[in-house]
A and B are shown apart, each in its own frame.
Chain A
Amino acid sequence: MDASGRDVVRLVPVGVRGADKGWGLRGFSLDRAFPAVAVLPTFVVMLCIFGIPLLFSLYLSFTGWALDQALMGGRFVGLANYEDLLNDPAFVGSLGITFGYTAAAVAAQMALGLAIALLLNIDLPYMRVLRTALVVPMMITPIVGALCWKLLLEPSLGFFNYLIGQKIVWLGMPATALASVWVVSVWQSTPYVALILLAGLRSLPTEPLEAAAIDGASRRQSFWHITLPLLRPYLLVALLLRVIFEFRAFDNIYALTGGGPANATMVLSMFTYLTSFVRFDFSLGAAASWIMLLISMITCLFFIATIRRRDTY
């Protein structure tokens, strides 16, 4: 990034004086170190709050360790923690629930989000107001949003049971509890998908659609064969982000069900939370969180590879 080859003719803005003599040679070498100096604080912070904790948790996951022991005083147990997890029906169940829940929630969010984005993209007056209203569930504090739903679903006082005239304990039965959590996540995150896709629709070139219209393509044809393929990068980004964020789902489930009833909504985050901070088994919690970490990293790499491949081609 050396500028010396270019003829830049521009006045120096006020506030920048020319080089004073004292800066001299030392300034030159310091100047070359600029990128390193600029990145160093970020590197140090990342190391402290991200690198060291993760390495420590990897260490914990291979030991039997309790909070009253010295930091590195755990006894090495090899893969025993991981074996325990894979033999624990609650953990294996929570793997399945997490995958199923993530897939179902993301699929619904993507479909509904695309529909909303297409509608909001139609050029009509007052669309701004509607867009603003539709985006609210995404903006508000997730735990408050979940709480609102919990009150709506309340067996004796909730609005839903009043509406259908029954006293169903929505969050107390396995099937309806998982479905309720799913509905809340669709409510909360569909706007997120809609906003990303709306931005994508707005940035699409209009020429291909016009050309197709001139050639007599129907609206359905131009949607399937032009709009959707052009929107693909945005769809992929929305998909990646939703998969990553649903995979770590915690707040909604904590507020609505706490993982129950009978582990029906026990997603991996909830399992890890309960193992670590309720049962205080940090070694097992560390092993569970490393399994989560590996799954999200693999997912991430897979998506990045997909996106990159499309770009170069």
Chain B
Amino acid sequence: MLDAITGYLRTSTTPGEAGSMFWATIYILFITIGVSLAVIAMNWLERKILAHMQIRLGPMRVGPHGLLQPFADALKLLIKEDIIPEDADKLVFWSAPVVVTMTAFTTFLVVPFGRTHAVTDMNIGILFMLGVSSLGVLGIIMAGWSSNSHYPLMGSLRSSAQMVSYEVAMGLAIVSAVLMTSLGTGPGTLSMIGIVEAQNAQQTWFIFNFFPLGLIAFGVFAIAMVAETNRAPFDLPEAESELVAGFHTEYSGFRWSLFFLAEYAAMLAVSSIAVTLWLGGWMRPFPNWLSGSTWNMAFSFVPALAFFVLAGLCFLGTIRMPKIPQMKIQTVGLGVFGALLGFIGLVLLVPSVSERIQDIFWFVAKVACFMYLYIWYRGTFPRYRFDQLMRVGWKVLLPVGLGVLIATAIWGLMPQLSAAALGMVQ
């Protein structure tokens, strides 16, 4: 029994491939907790960064620099009164947030945080992610319909129209990336791990592959992904100034927080798709160009260094705190938080730990860049009108996606095509 559990650690595959039920469960738990923590961190970061972009300070009072604000909010939401409208369809109203949250979390089953750090390696991984994440639309329609109210209904209809139309462009961009796995080295694959390994084999991230085709496909995906997750500037379904809150107007308390959780989990999921398909997944930057043991060593220090920088920022914050008795607890708290981050950095310095963990770090760092972009877009761009949104989706992204797909196929098959043409001539 114990041998079966520890035996997995010596293998270098995912728990799903190794057939280890125990470790699969552990991974699922870790991913669930990790995603929830990421959503909490994201909540704080979004409020802070958005505030700074609008020349405000953001949350400052609950904990040092408002660090405990998301926890206070979560507590508030959990103990809030749970209201179900009188004429609502109770069962559907009850199950809608569950469907949305479950689909958002299920997609993480195949996200490869590292070569060994995924629950399982499905051979239809990317298809599975797309399929499950589009089930989320169902939950949103259920929420809008069962609320028996105008704003939610309109919000959910807008949402479904938007998500369905952008899924087409998104799918085309993804297909062109999947196509790239079959061109050059080896047969094509839909497996998330296989896609990253294909990038490793072709010695390039797919964003730079067949330049500029990979970049354009990535651009199409990057726009479609913002629309797909209903975020600004495509946040028409919940357009705060027009529709109150869109499909979740009638929801409150815990159910509302489930929608919130699902929205951010979906953002993380599509960002992981983008990272896996175009940005080399868990691979560190320049794995081939800057290869060799010296560079490996240098890059293995980066995760620890990142945590040390964060800890340093915390300590800088403690120094800059106003020196008055009321802020004493906050100053100490920020110092302890900085010490915690520094301790994590120290742990990451241990070679065996950093070897096992650093691919997770690179993956998370890449996803974090996307999360920052989401906030940055929200702080900058005004909302699109609905006809503009549809025009961008159908008249720009769809033809561009199709064109890139065809161009990628032709470019990739150029050797065979030219050989065939030569054969015809002779």
Do these two chains really belong together in a complex? no
A-to-B contact residues, CB < 8 Å: none
